[in-house]
A and B are shown apart, each in its own frame.
Chain A
Amino acid sequence: MADSDKVRLRLPSTIKSGDIVQVRALVLHPMERVERDAQGRIIQKNYNYVNKVIVTYLGKTILTFDTSQGVAENPFFSFTFRATAPGPLKVEFLDTTGGRFERTADIKFS
């Protein structure tokens, strides 16, 4: 099971059918920065950082972020989706070491 303890999602408490809903997602992740040696050369190693965020709504990928190490440590990502039907909204974070972090919000209409 992908590590969801390290992910938080924030959505509005009431969602109506057809709303364009703003979502914030945060993942605890070191987002390792490029290190350089005394001569200024990049130290070759497998840097551990989130390089992909995948947002899936009702089973379809609606949005992705491709990211470099230029995104902050413990990054948040914010996006919107059009709430057309109740169902799952999944946010998945993938990192360069094979790490996967995800959390799913169950969209309900009120």
Chain B
Amino acid sequence: MTDDCQVTRRTALGALGALGVVAAGGFVMGTPATARAQVLGLNESVQDTMKRLFGDRPIRDGEALVKVDFPPIAENGSVVPISVTVDSPMTPASYVKNIYIVADKNRIPFVTRVTLAPEAGRAFMGANIRLGETGDLRAIVEQSDGTLLAVKREVKVTVGGCGG
């Protein structure tokens, strides 16, 4: 019980700290409204990130529909190319609304959220991301009907050595 309280307090402080950082940037510097969008990336545990983003909504296994191209070994944690493709008709009646990328061992587990319209044609995203250390990388897909699907893979991050 005490442990839970301590974790919550630490997380809350961490969240406040990070919010303070981004909020200062957003309001003081006068960024355009679109860039001041909801702060998604907070310094917290991955469990807290998942809870914050998805609450208690059920997340189903996405292996059948979600194809992730995550490298099994990343040569360094600074630049890790990834892509995700979801089997979806991408019509107004049924399309992928969001693809979330979450890295379990990153201090800010939220990496990116891609928000799509049917005009995208394919539920696909690619990017270069950072990974703090070896750990799981997740893709969480939100369908237009609200269904959540998830897939995860372990990515080993090579730590540089003698050769750099």
Contact = CB atoms under 8 A, between A and B. Distances in A.
A and B touch in the complex (CB under 8 A): yes
Interface of A: 20-22, 24, 33-34, 41-42, 44-47, 51-52, 54, 57, 60-82, 84, 94-98, 100
Nearest 8 A-B pairs (CB), nearest first? A68-B41, A78-B126, A82-B121, A70-B111, A72-B128, A46-B25, A20-B121, A94-B35
Contacts of B103: 70
A81 B119 contact: yes
Given A78-B124, A98-B32, A66 B37 contact: yes
Nearest to B111: A70
B79 to A, nearest CB: 5
Interface of B: 14, 17-18, 20-22, 24-26, 28-32, 34-35, 37-38, 40-41, 43, 78-81, 83, 90, 101, 103, 106-117, 119-122, 124-130
B35 A51 contact: yes
Contact of A34 (B30, B101, B107): B107
A64 B114 contact: yes
A96 B25 contact: yes
Contacts of B107: 34
B120 A80 contact: yes
Contact of B117 (A51, A63, A75): A63
B20 to A, nearest CB: 6
A59 to B, nearest CB: 11
